[in-house]
Amino acid sequence: METFSTPENIDGCVLRVSDLSIGIDRPGQMLQLTDHVSFVLNEGEIHGLIGESGCGKSITSLAIMGMLPEPGGTLISGSVCFRNKDVYSLDEPELNGLRGAKISMIFQEPFSAMNPLIRVGDQMLEVFEYHRTDFDRHQKIRDLLKEVGLSDHARILNSYPHELSGGMLQRIMIAMSLLLDPEVLIADEPTTALDVTVQAQIMSLVVRLCKERKMSVLLISHNISLMAQYADRISVMYAGQIVESNETGRFLSHPMHPYSKGLMRAIPSLDREDKRIIPIPGQVPEPAKYGSGCRFRERCPEATPQCQVPPPEKNHEQEGRYLCHY
Amino acid sequence: MEVRDVQTWFPVKTGLFGRTSRYIKAVDRVSLQINSGEIVALVGESGCGKSTLGNSIAGLLPIRGGNILFKGNSALKGHHLQREIFQNKVQLIFQDPYSSLNPKHTIYEILSFPLLYHNICTRAEVGEYIAFLLQQVGMSADCINRYPHSFSGGQRQRISIARAIGMKPDLMICDEIVSSLDVSIQAQIVELLLELRNKLGLALLFIAHDLSLVRTLSDRLYVMYLGKIVESGKTAEVLSGPMHPYTRALVQSVPTLDRTRPPVILEGEVPSFSNLPQGCAFQTRCPNRSSQCLQDPETSKVDNREVSCFHPVVSKT
């Protein structure tokens, strides 16, 4: 395992994911979905994890909470440490104490994350069911609704999810995730299903809460512009591996990995002079077909025969960490 | 195609006998024009009526008022679109690649059925024509015996595009066709659409909410808010110098790669259709609002730019 001399290694580290390799046990084989994934979340930091579908970002976020898919989800190697405690060494009651309370999560589709048959107020109260609290739960709910910008709490608590808009539901989800004052918030594509004006409102709320509460946020998205605006550090995930990781400003000015460079060319951005985009040819390989060697080589414009050999991880002050021969 | 003052209203039935008490004016007197070989974008946020408009133009919803002209011929009779006027020259592609292809049919069946039904080619020619169509969209011909579920979202959209261009259309209506795809696949599909426009002289009505993508793809742009067009013009001009306060708010909310320009927040929420304010629909959130806005705003036309506002923004952003 590499030790990094980058700012990732300072105290104030809340969550450390080290060489996380997760697999799914399928008949006849173990399908490895992530390969030595490592990153660190510091206090009060927003860490952006960029990746497209199939890269393993969602399973990584579940693994952080000790929620490997069943049946068959396996921790092949590596660890997840929350405040220096290994998540996978905890027993069930300790894990319950962790989930929702220390590490909380919000999802892409607020409508599907909530039970359509139960009023919002009751669903918020449900959060407390597995956790002991010694404060006034109803007051806490009202306080949090106010914190996320929802003032009409009587009406909201009495409503069913379908009676509220996407933006309001996402605010409620955020409020719910904060009820137990977590130290880490995992936000998995939190604004993908929302309109751009609502997205701006929700993201500004998340940033404010993060700074006010010194909470760490793992922001997972395929939207690089979103990361550019809101993340302090960026890690890029491709085919189960972290292919690049750096402080956001440095990443944007000089992305090192060919996939990162490809993504930057393929996405349109209103601020760019040139409106043209250059797609990355081909498709993401399937886990069963990763093979050895660099996983991006089939689509890489800079690939050479050398890329059949697994690429080394490079680690520099300015350029950050990246996985490439060149 | 020319869309003139089209209205698509949904009746709200209440009471014991289901009497219509009022209407949701999802599309309220919308006019737009698409010229041959042009890519026109229709943008707006959810609930603005853009998909309703797309579906109305394609004949999937009854139209309450206005007219639709295709190559100069009126296509509306009463409330219904006379599709024969279109002669299959207007094709529609949908957002969800997972529900727009029949899971029980092979790709061959999906592609051949409309071609044979509408006599686009004979049974003897159809195999070769399908291979040609698949090649046009960057798919290999050996996918014809497979079923939709073995393809990714991006590949399915390519198949849907192949199905549409097989009909040799003059206009394709693309309703949010890349919104559910990964960013790198979105780029591939956009490149494909541009290629098809150049090769086949196809016109496109591209309905979307992603302004950045729309800038890359479209020549002209219409911006919709709560059932009405608030601004239109050449895409580059509208996006670099938006005149309607809503367009400006929209452009400013989009995150870009420029960290020195964070998104500007537009406060408030979209009012519901059943609770529209008197006059301009945007007044509840507009920084330029005045008492004048209680009246329906007039549309001013300057040099192919149209804006419906009493207080348009004049300086460039």
How many angstroms separate the CA atoms of B192 and B274, rounded?
Answer: 40
Of A198, A228, A263, the CB nearest to B255: A228
Q: Tell me the backbone φ, ψ of residue A124, rounded to 5 degrees.
A: -65, -35
Q: Which chain B residues touch A224 with a CB distance below 8 Å?
A: 183, 257
Per-residue confidence (pLDDT) for residue A4, from 0 to 100: 35
CATH of B2-89+168-308, one of 3.40.50.720, 1.10.10.10, 3.40.50.2000, 3.40.50.300: 3.40.50.300
> How many A-B residue pairs are in contact by the CB < 8 A criterion?
122
Q: Tell me the backbone φ, ψ of residue B55, rounded to 5 degrees.
A: -65, -35
| Better-scored residue on pLDDT, B24 or B157 | B157
With beta carbons less than 8 A apart as the criterion, state whether B149 and B103 touch: yes
With beta carbons less than 8 A apart as the criterion, state whether A323 and A244 touch: yes
Contact map slice: B 60-119 vs A, CB within 8 A: none
CATH of A11-43+54-94+231-268+278-323, one of 3.40.50.300, 3.30.830.10, 3.30.70.1140, 3.90.220.20: 3.40.50.300
Cis before B277 (ω within 30): no
Q: Which chain A residues touch B250 with a CB distance below 8 Å?
A: 196-197
Q: Give the pLDDT of chain A (326 residues) as one tens digit per residue.
A: 333 334 444 567 899 999 999 998 888 888 889 999 999 999 999 999 999 888 888 899 999 988 888 888 888 999 999 988 899 888 888 888 888 888 999 888 877 888 889 999 999 888 888 777 778 888 889 888 888 888 888 889 999 998 888 888 888 999 888 888 899 999 998 888 788 888 888 899 899 988 898 899 999 998 899 999 999 999 999 999 999 999 999 999 999 999 999 999 888 888 887 888 888 888 888 888 887 888 888 888 888 888 888 888 888 877 788 888 88
Q: Does B287 touch chain A (CB under 8 A)?
A: no
* Average pLDDT for B64-84: 81
Q: 3-state SS of chain A: helix, strand, coil percent to 5?
A: 35, 25, 40
Q: Does B236 touch chain A (CB under 8 A)?
A: yes
How many angstroms separate the CA atoms of B236 and B86, rounded?
Answer: 30
Per-residue confidence (pLDDT) for residue A2, from 0 to 100: 36
Per DSSP, helices labelled H in chain B are 50-57, 83-86, 107-117, 123-136, 153-165, 183-200, 211-217, 235-240, 245-253
| pLDDT, tens digit (0-9, with 9 covering 90-100), for B169-224 | 999 999 989 887 888 888 889 999 999 999 998 999 999 888 988 999 999 999 99
Q: Considering the entire predicted model, what is its pTM?
A: 0.85
Residues in chain A, overall count: 326
**Taking the domains of chain B in order of start, what are their residue ranges?**
2-89+168-308, 99-167
* Average pLDDT for B49-78: 83
ipTM of the complex: 0.81
How many angstroms separate the CA atoms of A133 and A111, rounded?
Answer: 27
Per-residue confidence (pLDDT) for residue B86, from 0 to 100: 78
Per-residue confidence (pLDDT) for residue A276, from 0 to 100: 85
| Contact between chains at A248 and B263 (C-beta distance less than 8 A) | no
Of A204, A222, A225, the CB nearest to B265: A204
Per-residue confidence (pLDDT) for residue B317, from 0 to 100: 46
* pLDDT at residue B89 is higher than 80: yes
Give the distance between the most distant pair of CA atoms in chain B.
68
Q: Which residue of A has its CA nearest to B155?
A: A283
Tell me the three state secondary structure of residue A202.
Answer: helix
Return all residues near A116 (Cβ < 8 A) that are at least 6 apart: A160, A161, A162
Q: Which chain B residues touch A298 with a CB distance below 8 Å?
A: none
| Contact between chains at A276 and B216 (C-beta distance less than 8 A) | yes
How many angstroms separate the CA atoms of B168 and A188, rounded?
Answer: 41
**Taking the domains of chain A in order of start, what are their residue ranges?**
11-43+54-94+231-268+278-323
Per-residue confidence (pLDDT) for residue A11, from 0 to 100: 60
* Residue B23 binned pLDDT confidence (cut-offs 50, 70, 90): confident
Q: Which residue of A has its CA nearest to B258?
A: A271
Report CA-CA distances (Å) from A69 to A28, A66, A103: 18, 9, 18
Q: Does A167 touch chain B (CB under 8 A)?
A: yes
